[in-house]
Chains A and B, each alone.
Chain A
Amino acid sequence: MVSVNLLIIIPFIAAALILFLQKRVSRIHIGWFVLLIPIILFIFLVRYIPNIANGATYLHTINWIPSYGINFSSYLDGLSLIFGLIITGIGALVIVYSIYYLNENESLKHFYCYLMLFMGAMLGVIFSDNIMVLYVFWELTSISSFLLIAFWFQRKRSREGAQKALLITVSGGFSMLAGFIMIGNITGSFSFREIIAIIPDFYDHTLFIPAMLLILLGAFTKSAQFPFHIWLPSAMEAPTPVSAYLHSATMVNAGLYLVARFTPVFGGEGLWFWLVTVVGLVTMFWGSFTAVRQTDLKALLAYSTISQLGMIMSMFGMGSAALNNGYSADSVVYTQATFAALFHLINHATFKSALFMVVGIIDHGVGTRDIRRLGGLATYMPITFTIAMIGSFSMAGLPPFNGFLSKEMFFTSVLNIREANIFSLEAWGTLLPVLAWVASVFTFIYCMIVVFKTFLGKYQEERLEHPAHEAPVGMLIAPIILAVLVIAIFFFPNVLGDYLIVPAMASIFPAFAAEADLGVTISAWHGFTPELIMTIGVVVVGTLLFISLKYWKRIYALLPESWSFDSLYNAVLETVETSSNKITNFYMTGYLRDYLVYIYLFFIIVVGGTLIYTGALNFDIAGNAPIDAIDWFIAITMVVGSIAIIFAKSRLTAILLNGVIGYGVALFFVLLRAPDLALTQTVVETVTTVLFLVAYYFLPDWQKENSSRKTKSVNLLISVLVGAIFVVVALAVQNEKLFESISGFFENSYELVGAKNIVNAILSDFRGFDTMLEVVVLLIAGIGVFTLIKLKARKGEEELENK
Chain B
Amino acid sequence: MKINNVILKTVTKVVIYIILTLAVYLFLAGHNSPGGGFIGGLVLSTAFVLLFIVYDIETIQKALPFDFKKVAALGAFLAVGTGFGSFVFDVPFLTQAFGYFNLPFFGEVELTTVTIFELGVALVVVGVVVTIILSISEDV
Size class of the A contact interface (CB-based, 8 Å): 35 or more
Interchain nearest-CB distance for A73 vs B (Å): 12
Contact with B46, one of A683, A756, A772, A776 (Cβ below 8 angstroms): A683
A785 CA to B132 CA in the complex, in Å?
6
A782 CA to B94 CA in the complex, in Å?
24
Interface string of B54-71 (1 = CB under 8 A from A): 000000000000000100
Interface check B12, CB cutoff 8 A: no
A782 CA to B131 CA in the complex, in Å?
7
The answer on a CB contact under 8 Å between A679 and B91 is no
Q: Which of A62, A675, A760 has its CB near the most chain B CB atoms (within 10 A)?
A: A760
Instruction: Tell me whether A776 and B133 are in contact in the complex, defined as CB-CB below 8 angstroms, given that A683-B43, A760-B30, A768-B94 are known contacts.
Output: no
Interface check A687, CB cutoff 8 A: yes
User: What DSSP secondary structure best describes chain B's contact surface?
Assistant: helix
Contact with B136, one of A754, A781, A783, A785 (Cβ below 8 angstroms): A785
The answer on a CB contact under 8 Å between A676 and B128 is no
Q: Which residues of A contact B69 (CB under 8 A)?
A: 782-783, 786
Q: Which residues of B contact A325 (CB under 8 A)?
A: none
Instruction: Tell me whether A772 and B114 are in contact in the complex, defined as CB-CB below 8 angstroms, given that A64-B92, A691-B133 are known contacts.
Output: no
CB < 8 Å A-B pair total = 147
Instruction: Tell me whether A781 and B39 are in contact in the complex, defined as CB-CB below 8 angstroms, given that A686-B46, A786-B135, A789-B135 are known contacts.
Output: no
The answer on a CB contact under 8 Å between A757 and B53 is no
What count of chain B residues pass the 8 Å CB interface test? 54
Instruction: Tell me whether A764 and B92 are in contact in the complex, defined as CB-CB below 8 angstroms, given that A679-B26, A679-B35, A680-B42 are known contacts.
Output: no
Contact with A691, one of B31, B118, B132 (Cβ below 8 angstroms): B132
Interface string of A672-701 (1 = CB under 8 A from B): 000110011001101100110011011000
A675 CA to B34 CA in the complex, in Å?
6
Instruction: Tell me whether A755 and B92 are in contact in the complex, defined as CB-CB below 8 angstroms, given that A686-B46, A786-B69 are known contacts.
Output: no
Interface check B21, CB cutoff 8 A: no
Nearest B residue to A695, CB-CB: B136
Instruction: Tell me whether A789 and B139 are in contact in the complex, defined as CB-CB below 8 angstroms, given that A782-B72, A782-B131 are known contacts.
Output: yes
Interchain nearest-CB distance for A12 vs B (Å): 10
Q: Which residues of B contact A684 (CB under 8 A)?
A: 42
A694 CA to B36 CA in the complex, in Å?
27
The answer on a CB contact under 8 Å between A790 and B139 is yes
Interface string of B90-124 (1 = CB under 8 A from A): 11111010111000000000101010011011001
A776 CA to B110 CA in the complex, in Å?
28
A456 CA to B80 CA in the complex, in Å?
58
Q: Which residues of B contact A772 (CB under 8 A)?
A: 79-80, 83, 94, 117
Q: Which of A65, A759, A775, A781 has its CB near the most chain B CB atoms (within 10 A)?
A: A775
Interchain nearest-CB distance for B24 vs A (Å): 14
Interchain nearest-CB distance for B98 vs A (Å): 4
Interface check B49, CB cutoff 8 A: yes
Q: Which residues of A contact B17 (CB under 8 A)?
A: none
The answer on a CB contact under 8 Å between B131 and A756 is no
Q: Which residues of A contact B30 (CB under 8 A)?
A: 757, 760
Interface check B5, CB cutoff 8 A: no
Interface check B10, CB cutoff 8 A: no
Contact with B45, one of A65, A679, A687, A698 (Cβ below 8 angstroms): A687
Q: Which of B49, B69, B75, B94 has its CB near the most chain A CB atoms (within 10 A)?
A: B94
A691 CA to B100 CA in the complex, in Å?
41
Interface string of B124-140 (1 = CB under 8 A from A): 11011101110111010
Interface check B76, CB cutoff 8 A: yes
Nearest B residue to A62, CB-CB: B87
The answer on a CB contact under 8 Å between A676 and B39 is yes
A201 CA to B76 CA in the complex, in Å?
46
Interchain nearest-CB distance for A133 vs B (Å): 12
Q: Which residues of A contact B98 (CB under 8 A)?
A: 753-755
Q: Which residues of B contact A765 (CB under 8 A)?
A: 96, 114
The answer on a CB contact under 8 Å between B36 and A764 is yes
The answer on a CB contact under 8 Å between A694 and B133 is yes
Interface check A769, CB cutoff 8 A: yes
Interface string of A770-786 (1 = CB under 8 A from B): 01100110110111011
Instruction: Tell me whether A775 and B121 are in contact in the complex, defined as CB-CB below 8 angstroms, given that A687-B49, A754-B112, A765-B114 are known contacts.
Output: yes
The answer on a CB contact under 8 Å between A757 and B31 is yes
Interface residues of A in 416-455 (CB under 8 A from B): none
Interface check B73, CB cutoff 8 A: yes
Q: Which residues of B contact A759 (CB under 8 A)?
A: 34, 36
A661 CA to B66 CA in the complex, in Å?
35
Interface check A763, CB cutoff 8 A: yes
Interface residues of A in 680-731 (CB under 8 A from B): 680, 683-684, 686-687, 690-691, 694-695, 697-698
A230 CA to B57 CA in the complex, in Å?
53
Interface check B4, CB cutoff 8 A: no
Interchain nearest-CB distance for A652 vs B (Å): 14
Interface check A66, CB cutoff 8 A: yes
Interchain nearest-CB distance for B134 vs A (Å): 9
14 contacts between A and B (CB under 8 A): A683-B42, A684-B42, A686-B46, A687-B49, A754-B98, A754-B110, A755-B98, A756-B31, A760-B35, A768-B94, A775-B121, A779-B75, A782-B128, A789-B135
Taking A64-B92, A757-B30, A782-B132 as given, write out 10 further A-B residue pairs in contact, using a Cβ cutoff of 8 Å, ordered by the A residue number: A676-B36, A683-B39, A753-B114, A754-B112, A772-B79, A772-B94, A775-B124, A782-B72, A782-B131, A786-B132
Which 8 A-B pairs give the minimum distances between C-beta atoms?
A: A782-B128, A756-B32, A675-B34, A754-B98, A63-B92, A683-B42, A760-B36, A779-B76
